[in-house]
Amino acid sequence: MAEDLRRYLITQGQERYRACIIHAPAMGHKTELARRIRDVLGAYLLDLQAYFLEHPDLAAKIDRFGPDDLESLLLRLQVAPRLVVVDNLDFLLNTWSRARLEQFVAMVDVRLVSPDVTDKTFVFFVQTRPEIASRQLTNTRGQPRILPLDAFQPL
């Protein structure tokens, strides 16, 4: 049975390790759902690709921009909503080695901790890739924190 996305995100917002990943194949309606979360739940939507295009200094160092840099960028965000959806980051993931992809998952798993590091809940939308989708992260209720998009009912 499909999960209620609104309820799932409320649950994640109460966790110590709040970040989660939603994945789907290319053209799998990830951006559509990211926008629905913004519109229905009042989340802040960070289109990472657009952000890079707006900041040429970042675009110039894309080959050196790693998970630690992404984490710093996210933690510096000065936005009111406590729910932050990060979309269109596959252009960046495609430049990362397997080790960097593992660092990204580690960031999602334990480094975006609340309330010690951030009061935000981060939802990352990515294309399905085995290095990420096969990882087993769970919240305190035993729910997975890396899920396919089709695990949720429409919002």
What structural domains does the chain harbor? 5-145 (3.40.50)
What are the helix (H) ranges across 16-66?
30-41, 48-54, 56-60
SS (H, E, C) 52-70: HHHCHHHHHCHHHCCHHHH
pLDDT at 2: 62
Summarize the confidence of residues 54-66 as an average pLDDT.
91
Kindly report the pTM of this predicted structure: 0.96
pLDDT tens column, 20-56: 999 999 999 999 999 999 999 999 999 999 999 999 9
Q: Report the distance separating Cα 147 and Cα 47, nearest Å.
A: 20
